[in-house]
Amino acid sequence: MDLEHLSEKLTEASVSGFRDRTKRRFSLPVAARSHSDSRRSSIISSCSDTSSYTGSSSDEEEGSPREKEQVTASGFTDFCVKNLRQAEFGRREIDIAEQEMPGIVALRERAGKDLPLKGAKIVGCTHINAQTAVLLETLAALGAHVRWAACNIFSTQNEVAAALAEKGFSVFAWRGETEEDFWWCIDKTVNTENWQPNLILDDGGDATHLMIKKYPAMFKMVKGVCEESVTGVHRLYQLSKAGKLNVPAMNVNDSVTKTMFDNFYACRESIIDSLKRSTDVMFSGKQVLVAGYGEVGKGCCQALKGLGCIVYVTEIDPICALQACMDGVRTVKLGEVIRHVDIVITATGNKNVVTREHMDKMKNGCIVCNMGHSNTEIDVNSLRTPELTWEKVRSQVDHIIWPDGKRIILLAEGRLVNLSLSSVPSINVSITSCTQALALIELFNAPLNRYKSDVYLLPKKMDEYVASLHLPMFDAHLSELSDDQAKYLGLSKAGPFKPNYYRY
């Protein structure tokens, strides 16, 4: 028998044997098959639900946390979280995050004895996850009393919120809040008996906005605002220009440590993580459009190019556009490529960057998501019309189906995708948290009239200090200037080492 016939015979025998084994393995008695068919039918029925994920998870069927009476083991009740029973699991997550946050832990240890925030009453409105929990506990260790809410309805880690509540923190947040819940939670951090906040730590400007609109007298008594997002900083500058900012504010977003390490390096990793977790997409060969080539856009583009994507960028700024060109990224108008791209990512901080007109033109299966803080970049409301069908795929992943059968994949309903569907590296949050903590310490302890009712940047020396706190994690060793070298450069040997106008 020649090799060709032998090969055919072996293949036929192998297939036949596989069929027999499969038949034996999966043959069920009639009763079992009936039960299996019934179970499969119920699964198919549940999967065909076309409602959006928002507000329809199994946890949410238990009812709103606002309707529950919750008490910790110590009798503490001033909080509102999803499930207090998850506290132990949340504590483990916080412990893991703390291991990757050497800077904020070092700041806690160095400044803890001095209690530089003793007497501070801080209203916080940020993402509530394991990393920000480390910041909350650090602020408390430095003497502050804090009340906290979430700045995003999808980014809260319920188990972490439970762990914070169990430890006695006034936290009002859960994953999947409604818009009404969102503002109720922020209001609870501000309006309570025997409480006059004197500092605000904001991420997006929502706590600041609520206090100005609803509690203007309380806002005037605040010593300062610390803001970490593009959207929030933009709001602060608008308030300052209009003469409505009655207190000093620190722009943390544009500090070097925040802009470079959180916006660029963290987004470079988290964009891939969030897209992979939510869609299982393979990037190689995909055409991707990134709207905006700031630090967030640069980080996204670098990661996507590294995985073999064909990347396009939209920009309004000629300097950023030229940077994109020099980096080998083609700069286009959205309408030029919208029919062909596989993934659209917004990272501008603007509104209506991707409109219904754009989405009408997208190809079947196009993935649409947002990496900018604001949830206004994608015009999601224009998709809530009778002719379009929303179909839940998985947590915070929706199919939007057109009458002709075309569908796009919308992630996190247009909200911040990396913190809604994945997470960010803990060390990057540590860098930002250090900057925020130092800004709060400065605002709280500053002599009267040092700061006017305006928006300020942190001193360069403070940025360098934050960076130095994180170098030991990498076993990095700084060189030192000699007296002669310092004199030649006109610098202090202890820094700052760059002028304020230096661009890193």
pLDDT of residue 40: 36
Instruction: Please tell me whether residue 398 adopts helix, strand or coil conformation.
Output: strand
DSSP conformation class of 397: E
Would you say 269 is a known binding-site residue?
A: no
Query: How large is the C-alpha radius of gyration of the chain?
Result: 26
Question: In the block, which residue shows the tokens 């709103």?
Answer: 64
pLDDT of residue 79: 97
pLDDT of residue 63: 78
Q: Position 107: which residue type?
A: L
What CATH architecture does domain 41-222 belong to? 3-Layer(aba) Sandwich (3.40)
Q: Beta strand 330-331 with 310-314: parallel, antiparallel or unpaired?
A: parallel
pLDDT of residue 332: 98
pLDDT of residue 23: 41
Would you say 214 is a known binding-site residue?
A: no
Tell me the torsion sign for CA atoms 431, 433, 436, 437.
negative
pLDDT of residue 259: 84
Report how far Cα 227 is from the mean position of its chain's Cα atoms. Answer: 15
Cβ-based burial of 206 (10 A; exposed 0-12, middle 13-18, buried ≥19): buried
* Residue ranges of the chain assigned to CATH 3.40.50.720: 267-421
Q: Position 315: which residue type?
A: E
Q: CA-CA distances (angstroms) from residue 336 to 16, 288, 293, 331? A: 54, 13, 17, 10
Would you say 299 is a known binding-site residue?
A: yes
- pLDDT one-digit tens code per residue, 278-304: 999 999 999 999 999 999 999 999 999
pLDDT of residue 41: 39
SS (H, E, C) 280-336: CCCCCCCEEEEECCCHHHHHHHHHHHHCCCEEEEECCCHHHHHHHHHCCCEECCHHH
Burial 243-276 (b: 16+ CB within 10 A, else e): eebebbbbbbbebbbbbbbbbbbbbbbbbbbbbe
pLDDT of residue 62: 66
pLDDT along the chain (504 residues), means of 10: 43 44 39 39 36 38 83 96 96 96 94 94 97 97 98 94 97 96 97 96 96 95 94 93 94 89 92 95 97 96 97 98 97 97 96 96 97 89 96 95 97 93 91 95 94 93 93 95 95 90 82
Q: For residue 145, which phi and psi values (nearest 5 degrees)?
A: -110, 125
Would you say 294 is a known binding-site residue?
A: yes
pLDDT of residue 501: 81
List the beta bridge partners of residue 411: 397
Would you say 315 is a known binding-site residue?
A: yes
Q: Which CATH superfamily is domain 267-421 in?
A: NAD(P)-binding Rossmann-like Domain (3.40.50.720)
Q: Pick from 13, 4, 504, 2: which is nearest to 261 by CA?
A: 504
* Residue ranges of the chain assigned to CATH 3.40.50.1480: 41-222
Would you say 364 is a known binding-site residue?
A: no
pLDDT of residue 32: 39
pLDDT of residue 4: 46
Would you say 413 is a known binding-site residue?
A: no
Q: Position 188: which residue type?
A: K
